[in-house]
Chains A and B, each alone.
Chain A
Amino acid sequence: MNLTLFVWRQKGPGAQGGLEEYQAKDISPDMSFLEMLDVVNEDLIKDGKNPIAFDHDCREGICGMCSQVVNGVPHGPRERTTICQLHMRHFRDGDALYIEPWRARAFPVIKDLIVDRTSLDRIIQSGGYMSVHTGGVPDANAVLIPKHDADTAMDAAECIGCGACVAACPNGSAMLFAAAKVAHLAQLPQGRAEAAQRVCVMTEAMLKEGFGNCSNHYECQAVCPKGIKVKFIAKLNREFLKAELRSCGTPEAGTPSRD
């Protein structure tokens, strides 16, 4: 099949970008979307032009590195599918595709389709963990975790940190991302001790990084390649309320315990 692509090209962080047109020729339906771009890039290189820069690594939908908006939808049209796992059989011969980077205040463009997502890492660094040292922990079966809790924690923990939720949100909010981590850890007995403090510092970090507020559009859930549910946002809000009752805003609460 043959397709027409309009791809966002931008030389560098501050540079002016724009859409450029390319032809993708002789594309097999068995190719993945990124393999289709590989073909376009090979042609560009042979023509003496610069190939399209895009992030990717595992190409199996798990590392969360790939990040493209196709025709306005992060990761493209297929539900629960990253762009690297999207196959060309879901498009039709002659289609026109608009390919753009994640767009959000907290994700500045670095080049072409590549953006800077270190803001997500900083949310985790603010307190998205359990404060446990290596060694000196109890036997793995010492604390029983009901299957339902373990499964729910896993549902939340499946987040791959790609940032599609942010790119889809009209407010550029990272609520689903943060909520998935808060819910994952708060669901487990080991994570309860720090739950209140965690939700406070992570929410604060989110705002500091320039992510917007959540106003319940639920676009995030619709594009999440891992099917992370907005019910976790409700869980975050509950945790937050509980924490506020326990004086979340005090200065000490802002610093995770040093052990």
Chain B
Amino acid sequence: MILDGRCPPGSLSEKWERHRHEMKLVSPVNKRKYRIIVVGTGLAGASAAATLGELGYTVEAICYQDSARRAHSIAAQGGINAAKNYPNDGDSVFRLFHDTIKGGDFRSREANVYRLAEVSGCIIDQCVAQGVPFARDYAGYLVNRSFGGAQVSRTFYARGQTGQQLLLGAYSALSRQVKEGTVTLRPRTEMLDLVVVDGEAKGITVRDLVTGEIRSVGGDAVCLCTGGYMNVFYLSTNSMGGNVTAAYRAYKKGAFLRTRAYTQIHPTCIPVTGEHQSKLTLMSESLRNDGRVWVPRIRGDRRLPREIPEEERDYYLERKYPSFGNLAPRDISSRAAKEVCDEGHGVGPGGRGVYLDFADAIARLGEGTIRERYGNLFEMYERITAENAYERPMRIYPAPHYAMGGLWVDYNLQSTIPGLFVLGEANFSDHGANRLGASALMQGLADGYFIIPYTIADYLARIKPGKVVRGHPEFLKSVEECKAFVGRLLSIKGKRTVNEFHRELGSVMWENVGMIRSRESLAGALKQISELRAEFWKNVRVPGGEEELNQELEKAGRVADFIEFAELMIRDALHRNESCGGHFRVEYQTAEGEAKRDDENFCYVAAWEYKGPEAEPELHTEPLLFENVQLAVRSYK
């Protein structure tokens, strides 16, 4: 089937304006009668729930943490993009749009990305009005920094805690609606299933993580804002509870999942120290504004970094990509790091690391300035490694970070199931095959504050509120299925712990489906994963019971979904016979080792449809048309 993104007609800059005018509205007196379920309270979920509440809808917002304020958006460090052009350095809506399309290696939808760039400025205005303390200069104006893949400074930041401040802003708007009585919060609650009645999303099934009760939540529409799935690699920069469960179960209920092979491996993370490692910590990309990346020229050089003279260092990013240098996009920087380490130039344990050096910046700007810009990151680095990065360069290595794939959505952010909307990292819409830094925060808030409030009305206005009630057989069936699933996990009583399975899954994925993939590695991984799945269901040990707080049970459900999901991810990577952005296939590269796209055959969005437990999923495509940018070889040289 050829999918239609339902982008409005007209020139790029008219589309959203015109579409807003053409969409249906729900009258103020009727809004309250519609119940909207928002799953997730990260930037996307919190901003959506708060805004929908303000508009007068009845909203129920759920998250698995103990408070809405703890969604993983809180961990974002570096900043948020907006085409404000405050520095007067040549930025514009069109340039942000163009950078994002190009950064995504021409695999995203023009209309969506343009709209994102258009509303980006409003996001900053909104956040300032909420009290987000962005960095300012002495005159009191906002200041900007640069991020990878851009030659202008358009990134707004709040020290190294931009995500925290933006999320607290959205959380405060959400809290205000709780007080107003429009939003009900359900923390420590996990979505286990989507309930579809007559082809439309009418609710979800959840487990209360404190009591273990599995129950239905009914509504007129569902917004999934459940974040990314990078924990499929076990070790990632995501939060420990990050999962694909909500999205995957929606997929099993008929929502198409889009090109999951696009995974972002972030170039600057603290390297792994051992088996015990439970997660990886990001060192914000903003550090590359002032840090220079290098490795020793001599293989296996064991000297201290300061003892290695300038001419024996290889500043490989500056050498290979002179015009972007240390700010080359993530996919490119990560692969370059892997390459130099594979060649034996890596530093630190196992030779899996490269230096990120601030000596020049400190000499130029003084330690005080560097401390002001990145103090908390340097502290975090020291806590983890016991090394002082003001005195010796940081050691960094790429790590799984961001999911460009997700549930397929149209221009209205609606999935293939009417009434199911997907926002933030959980959807696929704006970043193509590679996301530029500081664009995820922008997208999450754009979706939640400025897009869904309009587009969801267009759906709701066409349906009667409260048409389906919780006692409907589909709800009961879903509850029974979820109970059976949980019961099955508890009944296996095998020998291996959930973590052991997760770690094994992660290592297969990292080795074979990570930064560099080949037909053989993918085929091999597919086989290993299907064996792992079989073993999981025979040999996993989940202690405790169903009707209690049971963290192992929570993890087991998530890992079970990750294992199935991994198979899909590999199938997608196998089918895409080209390299682009975060998907690099060794078979498809230029003579210089850069990604080689195949626009003739793969300039489309791949969306997969679930066909049953043992059947292969079916591929659907949405062709990508580029009318305003020229498809070009992405060059950062």
Binding site for B on A (CB under 8 A): 12, 28, 30-32, 34-35, 38-39, 42, 45-46, 48-51, 53, 55-65, 78, 80-81, 85-87, 89, 110-111, 114, 116-118, 120-121, 124-135, 137-141, 143-147, 150-151, 153-154, 157-158, 160-161, 184-185, 188, 190-191, 256, 258
Contact = CB atoms under 8 A, between A and B. Distances in A.
Contacts of A256: 176, 179
Interface string B553-591: 000000000000000000000000000000000000000
Contacts of A190: 128-131
B241 A57 contact: yes
B130 A125 contact: no
Contacts of A147: 136-138, 140
B65 interface: yes
B176 A45 contact: no
Given A58-B239, A86-B383, A131-B176, 8 more contacts: A35-B277, A39-B276, A63-B75, A111-B548, A117-B67, A129-B131, A154-B159, A160-B164
Interface of B: 47, 50-51, 54, 65-70, 72, 74-75, 84, 86, 122, 124-131, 133-142, 158-159, 161, 164-165, 168, 171-173, 175-176, 178-180, 185, 187, 210, 239-241, 273-274, 276-279, 281-282, 379-380, 383-384, 386, 449-450, 453, 497, 499-500, 541, 543-544, 548-549, 551-552
Nearest to B163: A62
Question: Which of A12, A39, A128, A140 has the most B CB atoms < 10 Å from its CB?
Answer: A140
Given A58-B75, A134-B126, A134-B449, A140 B161 contact: no
Contacts of B180: 258
A137 B135 contact: no
A49 B384 CA distance: 31
Given A30-B273, A117-B66, A57 B239 contact: yes
Nearest to B552: A51
A134 B122 CA distance: 9
Contact of B140 (A87, A144, A160): A144
A237 B162 CA distance: 29
A55 B66 contact: yes
Contacts of B140: 144-147, 150
Nearest to B137: A147
A130 B179 contact: no
Given A121-B69, A145-B140, A154-B158, A188 B131 contact: yes
A131 B552 CA distance: 41
Given A30-B273, A31-B276, A130-B172, A144 B131 contact: no
A12 B50 contact: no
A31 B273 CA distance: 8
A161 B72 contact: no
Nearest to B349: A30
B139 A137 contact: no
B173 A140 contact: no
A235 to B, nearest CB: 15
Contacts of B497: 42, 45-46
A89 B384 CA distance: 10
A60 B379 CA distance: 11
B543 A50 contact: yes
Contacts of B276: 28, 30-31, 35, 38-39
Nearest to A12: B548
Nearest to B545: A50
A28 to B, nearest CB: 6
A30 B175 contact: no
Given A38-B499, A154-B133, A45 B541 contact: yes
23 contacts: A28-B274, A45-B497, A49-B543, A58-B70, A58-B72, A58-B240, A59-B278, A62-B161, A63-B72, A63-B74, A64-B69, A117-B67, A121-B175, A124-B172, A127-B179, A129-B173, A137-B125, A141-B142, A144-B141, A145-B140, A147-B140, A161-B67, A190-B128
